[in-house]
Structure 1
């Protein structure tokens, strides 16, 4: 899920132009003030692994895990979302609109403090792959404080938000909210870093057939990937976003003038598919198949006859530059092109990329093929092929 604060970052995107032929890494809502984190080099806490469950809904592109909130602790399932800065989850303040999710019982926590301030959040992407239509992903949240722990690591009392109302589009979600994991540590992660946890986390996001996905908080699980991690630095002015400059996108080993253009790509673990500008999206699809067309019922979505999509070559390489100045590719294989039939037209299958002008973003379709390191302390990202790839 992509919080509205990302939109403030679009105007800051500035990518470097790299003309060297890249090596491929092979496959086997708001602006929030930066937290004050004085203790990044202390090492008083050890890294922990948090198991992640799969939410597929014909997408194979969404993962979530548990946190504990309150006294005594209540288990709340959340998406660990690199596209958001804060913690929000459904509470008993919501009632009927949130009846499908596990709700945090505010009355049962002796440490819960109601902040009393409410605001509305609009999301640019939802939990699935369909575009947001007519603001159908909207939450009303209320400020609060309570104790939070993740993977047995106790962050103490932190600021958070409870969901007090939501639109019906959230009904299908098996998780109750979002734990923001932005590049300027906020909330529970900032508190843990202050207690000595290393200022990074890692994600082992796996396809359904492999399973055992996990989030490593405060470290790297070297057993989950092969080869060396390739690191790339966040550009200055990222303002909490996990984003990297990219000089080129290529399809099946070829590119065009439109695709051989500098852009800044946002990495959002809460988004299932890919978002590119309309021109970029259509340039990509033009290189894959003339049968891919806009799907009128869902603006921004594209599709093609399901009978024609199987086996269609559609390998997407996105080029980045390492900290050593060397270009490298992150690859989304052809098998990700088909994200399933549209509900309103089962004979038409939705294709992976949605058009969204002003935003270039990758989500689960890329992450599930790579082990990823999100290094807050050094403001960089690292990638290596998943050990199962």
Structure 2
């Protein structure tokens, strides 16, 4: 804690001359603790930018960057995931993590073993293939250690070491996931306590463009055009980044199904778009009757690849800005295909998967505001490439601007 020192001089109030024989006056030193707000102002941290690499597997899937963990620091690559709230990464305790860089807790003098074990099952996967049962599952062991991002360090940060993972994670070029939920937690909370502004910004780009980045604690105004449009997340959203949408439209048209209000979840850790079956069917009906369920992979849809370029497929999702005005976020036609199915390269998978009976979001319990059966939507690849996004934890809002 910063201390300011004040000198308090005790003197006589009598207006008289002091002789050479006068008794020396006593100077008392008294410490004063600065108010917390003043302390934060003096110690405020500057924003940092983390370069992001593009995990490209026929299409843009994920963007990930480096953090360091431990003393001395060990590099750990993670997806900065707005759909979860914890930090978990591959460790030398994991015999099934051979394709990822593994953190060795024995080499860190600041690591503290928490001793708790748990299993986390994800409801969305790394690629565009659907989740079936528990094929995306991690076994974890708790602990704490120093975590640093872009040179900013947060000691005693809660984390989880992956001790076992299912085979679906083998393709990952990154070691884990850093949750960036709507409530500051983990290393981010530690940095906010040190004076870092409680917001972060994402600039994710197609592989051909490159130079994707995450700015923690600030906004890079050189990466977008015009002004940011902000919308408030619902008061009951908890840790979940979401916005309420009054309607969807496809190629300028809508239907009674698409006019229903729904909560849209913004999840940077999910590669595909997920809607309940009725919504997915209504969207595809306005694009082409030739887009049909792909029975070999339940939940997916497909169409002959040679037809993709002929189909207009502009999807507008309406939201309400903080000033009350409506605005749209648009998925362009170029995002309709996520590439050919492996078993039949003549058929291309389309961007929206049907996903019903939601029970988990990023491995966590379903938020209360979705439990009533509200429609919902996850995305990263198809929308974020076209917008600069600001995730303002302190003001509980998300901002968007065209890039």
Scaled by the length of structure 1, what TM-score is found?
0.88
Residue 312 of structure 1 pairs with residue 330 of structure 2: no
SS at match of 1:170: helix
Give yes or no for contact 2:61–2:126 (8 Å, CA) kept in 1: no
Q: Which residue of 1 aligns with 2:203?
A: 204
Give yes or no for contact 1:59–1:128 (8 Å, CA) kept in 2: no
Give yes or no for contact 2:341–2:347 (8 Å, CA) kept in 1: yes
Give yes or no for contact 1:225–1:371 (8 Å, CA) kept in 2: yes
CA drift at 1:61: 3.1
Alignment partners' CA distance in 1, 2:119 and 2:340: 32
Q: Which residue of 2 aligns with 1:47?
A: 47
CA drift at 1:364: 2.2
Aligned runs of 1:8-157 on 2, under 5 Å?
42=41, 44-95=44-95, 97-157=96-156
Alignment partners' CA distance in 2, 1:55 and 1:311: 28
1:68-88 deviation line (CA, Å, top 9, x unaligned): 000100000000000000100
1:46-71 deviation line (CA, Å, top 9, x unaligned): 00110000001012131000000001
Greater Rg over alpha carbons, structure: 2
Q: Which residue of 1 aligns with 2:290?
A: 291
Give the direction of change, closer, same or farther, for the CA distance of 1:89–1:296 in structure 2 (3 Å limit). Answer: same
Alignment partners' CA distance in 1, 2:101 and 2:339: 28
Give yes or no for contact 1:288–1:314 (8 Å, CA) kept in 2: yes
CA drift at 1:311: 3.4
Give yes or no for contact 1:311–1:335 (8 Å, CA) kept in 2: no
Alignment partners' CA distance in 2, 1:305 and 1:170: 29
CA drift at 1:208: 1.2
CA drift at 1:309: 1.4
CA drift at 1:41: 7.0
Give yes or no for contact 2:266–2:377 (8 Å, CA) kept in 1: no
SS at match of 1:171: helix
Alignment partners' CA distance in 1, 2:49 and 2:310: 36
RMSD: 1.3
SS at match of 2:208: coil
Give yes or no for contact 1:147–1:155 (8 Å, CA) kept in 2: yes
Structure 1 window deviating more from structure 2 (133-142 vs 86-95): it is 133-142
Alignment partners' CA distance in 1, 2:228 and 2:244: 18
SS at match of 1:61: strand
Alignment partners' CA distance in 2, 1:311 and 1:76: 43
Alignment partners' CA distance in 1, 2:61 and 2:107: 34
Alignment partners' CA distance in 2, 1:289 and 1:245: 27
Give yes or no for contact 1:100–1:171 (8 Å, CA) kept in 2: yes
Alignment partners' CA distance in 1, 2:146 and 2:182: 22
Alignment partners' CA distance in 2, 1:364 and 1:229: 20
Scaled by the length of structure 2, what TM-score is found?
0.85
Structure with more contact order per residue of length (Cα contacts < 8 Å, sep ≥ 6): 1
Give yes or no for contact 1:317–1:332 (8 Å, CA) kept in 2: yes
1:289-308 deviation line (CA, Å, top 9, x unaligned): 11111111211111111121
1:103-149 deviation line (CA, Å, top 9, x unaligned): 00111111111111111111011111111023210100110111100
Alignment partners' CA distance in 2, 1:279 and 1:67: 41
Q: Which residue of 2 aligns with 1:171?
A: 170
Residue 323 of structure 1 pairs with residue 322 of structure 2: yes
Equivalent pairs, count:
348
SS at match of 2:67: strand
- Name structure 1 gaps, 5 residues minimum: 1-37
Give yes or no for contact 1:41–1:198 (8 Å, CA) kept in 2: no
SS at match of 2:286: helix
